[in-house]
Amino acid sequence: MSTAISDVTVIIRLILDILVVWLLIYSALRILRNNSRSVQILKGILIIFMIKGLSVLLGLDAFSYIMDIFLQWGVLAVIILFQPEIRGVLEKLGRSAGLAGADMTREQSMQMIDELVMACENMSKSKTGALITLQQTQQLTDYVNTGIRMDSVVSSELLGTIFQYGTPMHDGAVIIQGNKIACAAAYFPPTTRDLPSKYGARHRAAVGISEITDSVTIIVSEETGGISIALNGQLTQYKPAGLKRFLQNIFVPDEKESHGDNPIIKTAKSLGLARVRKQGRIEKKRTDERVQPIQVVDLYNIGQGDDSNETIQ
């Protein structure tokens, strides 16, 4: 009997070991897929190992010795080269469970979104370029420190003034934490992907910050007046009504769920009923024309020889 139990334990450990290794490889592949610079660095590392192998086969002892010294510092070099990617993974592991604006009331969230959408709509009509990032679970303190601190309540008039061309703070990003403007003129690292030429510096910065954080970034194009959202490395273009519904779905808590202190309801959620309700809400959102994006840009396939880089919905 004890032998059978030990065999089951060994099998469970092997399965767990395989799953952990698979998860590690999958995470590494996702990092490489989202960053073309990482792919080039990986190719360079593979070439170095190939050169090392050839030097051993050809009997180049002096050159092989130099390569051994170089490879001894290889781990440190990899950590330095992949520092942004490693930092992003660690930030995702350490992110908090709740939203950054979870301490806001429903009314405060709705008011913040109304002011934000109004500002974007006005700037879209006047073709005023804007870059606005809303913090979610991952802290953006490092990026706030690159800008001019404000700590002001979100208002359409203030946002319009900040991004008015010629003002000292118009060239940069506004970061919103909760219902407050934390800073203006913040700097974001641009994406390393090859985007179409019609996307300028604001779009590149928005995609860049969406690749390394879970923030929601709104871009208003100063050339076309179009309103886009960058999330998880993808650009989606919305009309003002769709933008409002999108932000409400993310930042406004469900009124029924916010008062759901009944233990029976909590037990039902733990049994999977919450997932059913969530799927029902997703299907309901899909049938709402006001929240449908008018354009989705597939950034992952750009530069792979496919002429259909954009999907119009």
Mean pLDDT of 143-162: 92
User: Would you place residue 259 in the very low, low, confident or very high pLDDT band (cuts 50, 70, 90)?
Assistant: very low
Is 257's pLDDT higher than 60?
no
* Of the listed ranges 54-63, 149-158, 236-245, the one predicted with least confidence: 54-63
Is 210's pLDDT higher than 50?
yes
User: Would you place residue 311 in the very low, low, confident or very high pLDDT band (cuts 50, 70, 90)?
Assistant: very low
Is 244's pLDDT higher than 80?
yes
pLDDT in tens, 63-72: 888 888 877 7
User: Would you place residue 3 in the very low, low, confident or very high pLDDT band (cuts 50, 70, 90)?
Assistant: low
Q: What is the overall mean pLDDT for the chain?
A: 76
Higher-confidence position of 79 and 229? 229
Q: Out of 3.40.640.10, 3.40.1700.10, 3.40.50.300, 3.40.50.450, which CATH number does the structure's domain 106-311 have?
A: 3.40.1700.10
As a whole number of angstroms, the distance between CA 205 and CA 209 comes to 6
Is 40's pLDDT higher than 60?
yes
Percent with pLDDT over 70 in the chain = 68
As a whole number of angstroms, the distance between CA 130 and CA 174 comes to 8
As a whole number of angstroms, the distance between CA 254 and CA 109 comes to 11
Give the per-residue pLDDT at 1. 57
3-class state of residue 235 by DSSP: strand
Is 49's pLDDT higher than 90?
no
Our CA dihedral for 115, 118, 120, 123, rounded to 10 degrees, sits at: -120
As a whole number of angstroms, the distance between CA 141 and CA 183 comes to 10
CB 108 within 8 A of CB 202: no
As a whole number of angstroms, the distance between CA 220 and CA 170 comes to 12
Give the per-residue pLDDT at 263. 46
Sequence spans of domains, the chain? 2-93, 106-311
Give the per-residue pLDDT at 97. 40
